[in-house]
Amino acid sequence: MKQFILTCVLSFFALITYAQEYSISGYIKDASNGETLIGATVLVKGSSQGVVTNVYGFYSLSLPANTYDIEVRYIGYNTISNQVDLTQGDQRLDLELGTDNLKLEEVVVTAESDDANVTDLQMSSNKLDIKTITKVPSFMGEADVIRSLQLVPGVSSVGEGASGFNVRGGSVGQNMILLDEAPVYNSSHLLGFFSVFNPDAVKDVNLIKGGIPARYGGRISSVLDIRMKEGNNKEFHGQGGIGTIFSRLALEGPIIKNKASFIVAGRRSYIDILAKPFTDVLNGGAALNFYDLTMKANYNINENNRVYVSGYLGRDNFKFDAQQGFNWGNNTATVRWNHIFGQKLFSNFTAIFSDYDYVLAFGDDEDDQFDWNSRIRTYSFKPEFNLFLNPKNELTFGGDISLQQFDPANATVVSDGEALNISLDQKYALEAAVYLSNNHKITNDLQVEYGIRYSKYWLIGPGNSYIYGDAEAGTRKPIEQTVEHNNGEVIQSYDNFEPRLSAKYLINSKNSIKASYNKTNQYIHLISNTTASNPLDVWTPSSNNIKPQTGHQVAAGWFRNFGANNNVEFSVESYYRLTFDQIDYISGADLLINEYLEGDLLSGDGRAYGLELLAKKNEGKLTGWVSYTIAKTELKVDGINDKEWYPTRYDQTHNFKIAAFYEINRRISVSSNFTFLSGTPTTYPNSKYVIQGSYVIPHNNDDERNNVRIPNYHRLDVSTTIELGKLVKNKRYNSELVISIYNLYSRRNPFSIYFTQEDVRPEGEALSQTEARQVAIIGSYIPSISYNFRF
């Protein structure tokens, strides 16, 4: 494989034979703080030639020897042009874009060039600028990355308060969530109400739902690529706020002016501090809090070398007293080195550490205790290269190698003074991938990115593998044999070629059509059989019993811009997605601390299709978007629903959302969003029977799954932001007040319907009665107020 890649790379290098061509390259940055700009357009004025800056804000453009007017555009910033003399040789041109003060306060809906909707090759992606995220009326007034994503087409969830999100019919565990390239295994605080990303430290959020580029892999549904701010390298600034849930503070500034900067951002919930005077439950070691800390520093060694170090740590703590409770959290660390070889080859080397763990402890005294922790750890290294070969070809190639360490349970039980260790063995998996992709402008109108990713996976010893016997579909498979494996021995391996293809045809400057296909593979699996994923869910590696998941997706769409400045964007996309070897569960599956977990897992196929419409207005006093998705997502599993297709728990037929932002004047703006979702499926019984006089069992004669839909969901949220202006003498100090109401008309939106026997103790021989009940997670309107400042 290595040779194959080398040959490919070399043959592409051999293409560099254009006579008398020189390159212009450099970084595009924000003039106010030195942050690099991702996706800025660098154009040769008067021609259609141009490139877009990569995720590090770097561009390179090769042109025949001549003098050019180079124009750089980025929405929300002033366009600048610069004359460049390319007759003498390669040129380095780092540029900084400024903003008008007037534009500064406007909500910028997309952070990219103004015609990107039509001209960008990438389809099926939604970028959210952090300014947009902070303007969306939010739950409890806390700006939230993942909740904001719920407003874009193609994204759904099992319901309010549920952790994670579902993209184009994929499950929560099929999304790759990357924070500065480090995978984040649990994106939620407080079980699912808030996401773990601190908006003060986030620079760019990009959700890729289809046409996934070859450089991403490891999950079959989507990629959520979150980039942190680098920190202002010109002057020291801070921002923060006091909200209903969190207090936040972020500090950023230069370490060496224009060369090195840092950002540190922290948040902590303080419901426990507020509650303390009212209850003594929180004394004696009891705790209820969650916090996160995000840090990043970068150093611009010289114009060809730059290093970044970033880290995240977050934790949720629930303690009943000093000894008992549970807590969980993610830690990530990323070290990156950007190096520019010559003018055309941009490289990035990333070393990543990511860890998710949880701890539970129960027991009043030493004689009777239960202690349990579980973790998943990833160490990875990713070299990545962007070769700006010529104006028509931009190559991306690289690799990715990750060691994953699974620790499903480290547990001890003490019963009446006798201790037992019930830990499960650790598991180790190695995942490696190489990829090569070319972004090829075939003509001025036709652009194609074709690539291939080759992924390989090894489950390695020490550890056991298990051989199971046959069982009736949907029931526990009996263990027949346990095989021990030595340190380093390959227990099982898999490999896959994952082709990726995206194409764009520009009909004219306002119209384009795009299409894409991607195959994706996933080697590790989130094990969760509850409605919403919870912090105790574990990840498990593929093995002789669990095959890797495979996803195929085709998508096609029409993209149209309106208005003089392309300020209204419209798109319609359709997709069809097929997945294989998805995980499901037998009824009564025992998922935690179970050595024979694999005997309780089922495997099935999925299919999903839909149509997504999005209209967006990017500039002016009124901005926002309208999004509509009509979709279906189904599963077929041997052992569930008689092996017939059934809709998933998060299948939403209609999904309609409006987000609107209006600037009344320079000090006051209002925002609103409205959501309408079709009811999600659930299972109704059609009969019941009594066991042992006490237990009334619901039964469905046809053994159906998700045969009925709960009522529709709709909700309106509003908020207003009032700039308080420079209240303090220090001129730099600015503050604002954000008042918001979530679920304005107090609708008790159903989360689920369940069937149960009455919770009363029947007298004598009487039998329990049964009833149907409906749950609303948020049963009323939730007002909140927060105060934000920056200096």
Partner 1 sequence: MNALKTKYIYILLLLATMACDDQIFPTLDDGEPVVVIDAFINNKNEPQSITVSQTQPYLNETELLGIEDANVSVTYGVSNTSVVFDHDSNGVYTVDSGFGAIGDNFTLTVVVDGETFVSYSSMNRVPAIDSVTFRYEEFAGFGQDLEFYMGEFWSRDLAGPGDTYWIKAYKNGSFLGKPEELSITFDAGFSSGGIIDDVIFIQPIRDSVNPFDEEDNGDFISPYADGDSLYVEIHSITNETFNYLNELITQTDVEGGFAALFASPLENLNGNIENTNENSDEVALGFFSVSAVEGNGKRLDISEVPIEE
172 part of the interface to partner 1, by CB under 8 A: no
Instruction: Name the 3-class secondary structure at 176.
Output: strand
Number of residues that bind partner 1 (CB under 8 A): 102
By CB under 8 A, the residues from 531 to 550 that bind partner 1 are: 531-532, 534
Q: Residue 104: which region, alpha, beta or left (left: phi > 0; alpha: psi -120 to 50)?
A: alpha
362 part of the interface to partner 1, by CB under 8 A: yes
Q: Nearest to residue 427, comparing CAs of 458, 400, 396, 390? A: 458
DSSP one-letter string for 100-134: -HHHHTS--S--S-TTHHHH-S--SEEEEEHHHHH
> HSE of 188 in the Cβ direction (CA atoms, 13 Å)?
19
Question: Which residue among 483, 728, 772, 785 contacts partner 1 (CB under 8 A)?
Answer: 772
Taking the C-alpha atoms of residue 231 and residue 308, their distance in angstroms, rounded to an integer, is 11
Q: Determine phi and psi for 767, rounding to 5 degrees.
A: -100, 150
249 or 776: CB nearest partner 1: 776
Tell the smallest beta-carbon distance from residue 632 to partner 1 (Å).
19
Q: What is the pattern of x (binds partner 1, CB under 8 A) and - over residues 592-631?
A: xxxxxx----------------------------------
Taking the C-alpha atoms of residue 51 and residue 93, their distance in angstroms, rounded to an integer, is 14
By CB under 8 A, the residues from 315 to 334 that bind partner 1 are: 318, 320-321, 324
Taking the C-alpha atoms of residue 455 and residue 551, their distance in angstroms, rounded to an integer, is 14
236 part of the interface to partner 1, by CB under 8 A: no
Taking the C-alpha atoms of residue 551 and residue 170, their distance in angstroms, rounded to an integer, is 10
Tell the smallest beta-carbon distance from residue 326 to partner 1 (Å).
9
By CB under 8 A, the residues from 45 to 104 that bind partner 1 are: none
Q: Determine phi and psi for 152, rounding to 5 degrees.
A: -100, 160
Tell the smallest beta-carbon distance from residue 451 to partner 1 (Å).
39
Place of tokens 């061509």: 21
Which two three-digit tokens encode residue 286? 């009891």
Question: Which residue among 723, 776, 787, 791 contacts partner 1 (CB under 8 A)?
Answer: 776
Return the range that interacts with partner 1 (CB under 8 A); candidates 48-56, 412-420, 558-566, 567-575: 412-420
Q: What is the pattern of x (binds partner 1, CB under 8 A) and - over residues 733-762?
A: ---------------x--xxxxxxx-x-xx
By CB under 8 A, the residues from 641 to 700 that bind partner 1 are: 649, 682-700
Return the range that interacts with partner 1 (CB under 8 A); candidates 300-308, 548-556, 558-566, 763-771: 763-771
For residue 629, what are the contacts with CB-CB under 8 A and spacing of at least 6?
153, 154, 156, 610, 611, 612, 613, 652, 654, 655, 656
Return the range that interacts with partner 1 (CB under 8 A); candidates 14-22, 57-65, 213-221, 778-786: 778-786
488 or 762: CB nearest partner 1: 762
432 or 778: CB nearest partner 1: 778
Question: Which residue among 248, 617, 705, 715 contacts partner 1 (CB under 8 A)?
Answer: 705
Residue type, 335: V
94 or 364: CB nearest partner 1: 364
Question: Which residue among 47, 257, 702, 732 contacts partner 1 (CB under 8 A)?
Answer: 702
| Run of H or E including 283 | none
Taking the C-alpha atoms of residue 332 and residue 314, their distance in angstroms, rounded to an integer, is 9
By CB under 8 A, the residues from 416 to 455 that bind partner 1 are: 416, 418, 420, 422-424
Tell the smallest beta-carbon distance from residue 512 to partner 1 (Å).
42
Tell the smallest beta-carbon distance from residue 474 to partner 1 (Å).
8
Question: Which residue among 442, 622, 780, 785 contacts partner 1 (CB under 8 A)?
Answer: 780
Return the range that interacts with partner 1 (CB under 8 A); candidates 110-118, 435-443, 556-564, 771-779: 771-779
C-alpha distances out from residue 511 to 51, 73, 115, 559, Å: 19, 19, 10, 6
98 or 779: CB nearest partner 1: 779
Q: Residue 432: which region, alpha, beta or left (left: phi > 0; alpha: psi -120 to 50)?
A: beta
Q: What is the 3-state secondary structure (H, E, C) of 574-622?
A: EEEEEEEEEEEECCCCCCCCCCCHHHHEEEEEEEEEEEEEEEEECCCCE
By CB under 8 A, the residues from 468 to 507 that bind partner 1 are: 474-476
Question: Which residue among 69, 94, 638, 703 contacts partner 1 (CB under 8 A)?
Answer: 703
By CB under 8 A, the residues from 120 to 159 that bind partner 1 are: 159
Taking the C-alpha atoms of residue 88 and residue 458, their distance in angstroms, rounded to an integer, is 52
Q: What is the 3-state secondary structure (H, E, C) of 328-373?
A: EEEEEEEEEEEEEECCCEEEEEEEEEEEEEEEEEEEEECCEEEEEE
706 part of the interface to partner 1, by CB under 8 A: yes
Which two three-digit tokens encode residue 550? 């495979």
Question: Which residue among 415, 481, 486, 565 contacts partner 1 (CB under 8 A)?
Answer: 415
696 or 718: CB nearest partner 1: 696
361 part of the interface to partner 1, by CB under 8 A: no
By CB under 8 A, the residues from 504 to 533 that bind partner 1 are: 529-532
435 or 585: CB nearest partner 1: 585
The DSSP bridge partners found for residue 743 are none
Question: Which residue among 363, 383, 461, 783 contacts partner 1 (CB under 8 A)?
Answer: 363
Please give the distance of CA 599 from its chain centroid, rounded to a whole number: 31
